[in-house]
């Protein structure tokens, strides 16, 4: 096997292992699994929802608590249909698609060609592949779908299922889901499920600015569901049809957007590292092809087991959105800036810098990064693989688990007492079934940083054993010291300090 194929196979194996782990330990389940699932839709289980909530909370606090000039909102998923006309999504949120007439499989044109180019590179035809990709980029930019179709056919790019080049023409496919509002099902009642949360922020810009007496620069943050009818939905929760976004729009004076853009670029990179993603697995990727609304854009990419891929987008969106909402709604979106001396420049539509990250995609990056396999020697001297999730304690689903050593001699009662003391401040669990060793293993699998065992000595001197997940080391500590030990480790202050 060639080196690249070998590496791909290993990465694929690791990814499959992580997906199985996520299901087996209650993190992520396929949606409606008993009905064979629904493609690209997933449910979060008992540990997954905790981890995801913790990620959302840490993001929310980093935005709204650490920045005095950022406030949050929670806008509805359904919005007036004209919002999506103004935002450009009705006309522009399309992917060019092509169908194979034999297999009936639909492909995103750029993905189809890119995969073909990858094969060419593997066959040693790097230059030809680059020429092909360049042609594709040019044709996509010009929206010349007829020539794009001809390119696919002339390059003999075949369907991976039917192996034929029997293609339909290239067609644009809108990614928004629609439904009807009210009881009459006709075109005038058509509304969309929002494909991004950002528009809920734009249409509330003046509401928040006025009621919050916000002065530019200021930001509005939001966490919420978004929906996209993704055609090529692969790679587990990386690309979903229903997902959650954590977006923040920062409103600035026209002309000051690039300073803000560069500032947020650095801040967001720091945040991702502070919650545990290693610097060497993160990188910036500048966009050369800009979305219709942007004058600068980049992705922060994370190295998933299947390669470096977009985790977060930072976009300088100019005044595109507010200007269009002003035009379509006939409602002025003007900010009066008292601090500007020049009278002519006091009234303006603000420019916007956006940071946008998928909560699910961040969850996946965190999970992939936390999954750890280490070789160790057990009590019998046998070499064993130990698996654990090395999650930052602040985001771990369960912070502390309490076990009695045996189920008699008053130990369960004492262990419950310890559990009761901890549960109001920390996500804690109590377990008296099963052997301690097995309970430790189970807690490792879900990333619990601390396990507490209550034994006979506890009854005599009020001490317990605390076992640390990452090192498996154990030490005896006073019960009364537990809140401090756990509290310091799970405190968000540690995360904030890294943000500087």
Q: Using CB under 6 A, list all residues that contact ligand GAP.
A: 196, 198, 228, 230, 239-240, 243, 245, 247, 310-313, 354, 356-358, 360-361
Find the shortest distance in angstroms from Cβ 313 to ligand GAP. 4
Closest to ligand GAP by CB, 59 vs 218, is 59
DSSP conformation letters of 112-133 = HHHHHHHHHHHTT-HHHHHHHH
Find the shortest distance in angstroms from Cβ 219 to ligand GAP. 14
Find the shortest distance in angstroms from Cβ 140 to ligand GAP. 17
Closest to ligand GAP by CB, 228 vs 469, is 228
Closest to ligand GAP by CB, 257 vs 354, is 354
Closest to ligand GAP by CB, 95 vs 444, is 95
Closest to ligand GAP by CB, 333 vs 465, is 333
Find the shortest distance in angstroms from Cβ 201 to ligand GAP. 9
Helix (H) or strand (E) holding 30: strand 28-30
Closest to ligand GAP by CB, 220 vs 452, is 220
Q: Which residues contact 492 (CB under 8 A, 6 or more apart)?
A: 58, 61, 394
Residue matched to tokens 């090529």:
232
Closest residue to bound ligand GAP by CB: 358
Alpha-carbon torsion 180, 188, 196, 348, what sign? Answer: negative
Find the shortest distance in angstroms from Cβ 37 to ligand GAP. 16
For residue 403, is the peptide bond before it cis, meaning its omega torsion is within 30 degrees of 0?
A: no
Closest to ligand GAP by CB, 98 vs 357, is 357
Find the shortest distance in angstroms from Cβ 310 to ligand GAP. 5
Helix (H) or strand (E) holding 300: strand 296-304
Q: What are phi and psi of 475, to 5 degrees?
A: -145, 160
Find the shortest distance in angstroms from Cβ 234 to ligand GAP. 11
Rounded Cα distance between 492 and 61, Å, is 9
| Structure tokens belonging to residue 468 | 């640390």
Rounded Cα distance between 204 and 71, Å, is 12
Of 403, 413, 300, 404, nearest in space to 357 by CA: 300
Residues forming beta bridges with residue 335, ordered by sequence position: 348
Find the shortest distance in angstroms from Cβ 483 to ligand GAP. 36
The torsion region of residue 170 among left (phi > 0), alpha (psi -120 to 50) and beta comes to beta
| Structure tokens belonging to residue 160 | 């991976």
Closest to ligand GAP by CB, 217 vs 313, is 313
Cα–chain center distance at 72: 19
Find the shortest distance in angstroms from Cβ 86 to ligand GAP. 14
Helix, strand, coil percent values for the chain (each to nearest 5): 40, 25, 30
DSSP conformation letters of 429-482 = EE--SS-HHHHHHHHHHHT-SEEEEE-HHHHHHSEEEEEETTT--EEEEEGGGH
Closest to ligand GAP by CB, 311 vs 367, is 311
b/e per residue 345-357 (b: at least 16 CB within 10 A)? eeebbbbbbbbbb
Closest to ligand GAP by CB, 94 vs 162, is 94
Find the shortest distance in angstroms from Cβ 236 to ligand GAP. 10
Find the shortest distance in angstroms from Cβ 107 to ligand GAP. 17
Closest to ligand GAP by CB, 226 vs 486, is 226
């Amino acid at each position: 096997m060639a080196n690249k194929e070998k590496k791909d196979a290993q990465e694929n194996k690791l990814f499959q292992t992580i997906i199985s782990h996520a299901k087996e330990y209650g993190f992520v389940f396929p949606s409606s699994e008993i009905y064979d699932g629904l493609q690209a839709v997933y449910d979060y289980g008992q540990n997954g929802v905790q981890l995801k909530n913790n990620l959302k909370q840490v993001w929310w606090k980093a935005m709204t608590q650490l920045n005095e000039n950022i406030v949050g909102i929670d806008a509805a998923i359904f919005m007036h249909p004209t919002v999506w006309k103004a935002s450009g999504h009705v006309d522009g949120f399309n992917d060019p698609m092509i169908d194979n007439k034999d297999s009936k499989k639909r492909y995103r044109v750029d993905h189809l060609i890119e995969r073909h180019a990858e094969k060419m590179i593997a066959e040693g035809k790097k230059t030809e592949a680059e020429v092909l990709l360049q042609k594709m980029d040019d044709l996509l930019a010009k929206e010349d779908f007829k020539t794009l179709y001809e390119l696919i056919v002339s390059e003999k790019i075949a369907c991976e299922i039917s192996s034929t080049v029997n293609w339909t023409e290239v067609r644009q496919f809108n990614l928004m889901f629609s439904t009807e509002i009210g009881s009459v099902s006709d075109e005038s009642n058509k509304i969309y499920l929002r494909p991004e949360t950002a528009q809920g922020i734009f249409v509330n810009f003046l509401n928040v600015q006025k009621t919050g007496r916000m002065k530019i620069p200021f930001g509005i943050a939001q966490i919420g569901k978004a929906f996209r009818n993704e055609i090529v939905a692969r790679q587990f929760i990386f690309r979903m049809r229903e997902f959650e976004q954590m977006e923040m729009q920062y409103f600035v004076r026209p002309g000051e957007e690039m300073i803000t853009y560069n500032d947020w670029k650095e801040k967001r990179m720091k945040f991702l590292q502070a919650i545990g993603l290693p610097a060497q697995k993160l990188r910036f990727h500048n966009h050369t092809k800009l979305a219709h609304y942007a004058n600068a854009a980049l992705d922060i990419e994370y190295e998933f087991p299947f390669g470096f891929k977009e985790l977060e987008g930072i976009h300088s969106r100019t005044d595109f959105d507010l200007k269009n909402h002003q035009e379509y709604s006939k409602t002025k979106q003007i900010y009066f800036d008292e601090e500007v001396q020049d009278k002519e420049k006091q009234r303006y539509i603000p420019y916007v810098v956006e940071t946008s990250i998928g909560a699910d995609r961040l969850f996946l990056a965190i999970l992939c990064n936390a999954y750890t396999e280490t070789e160790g020697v057990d009590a019998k001297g046998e070499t064993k693989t130990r698996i654990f999730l090395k999650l930052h304690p602040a985001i771990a689903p369960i912070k502390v688990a309490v076990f009695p050593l045996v189920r008699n001699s008053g130990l369960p009662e004492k262990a419950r007492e310890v559990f009761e003391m901890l549960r109001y401040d920390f996500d804690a669990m109590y377990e008296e079934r099963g052997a301690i060793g097995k309970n430790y293993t189970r807690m490792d699998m879900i990333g619990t940083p601390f396990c507490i065992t209550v034994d006979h000595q506890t009854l005599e001197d009020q001490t317990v054993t605390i076992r640390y997940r990452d090192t498996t080391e154990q030490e005896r500590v006073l019960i009364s010291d537990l809140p401090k030990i756990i509290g310091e480790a799970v405190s968000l202050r540690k995360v904030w300090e890294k943000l500087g």
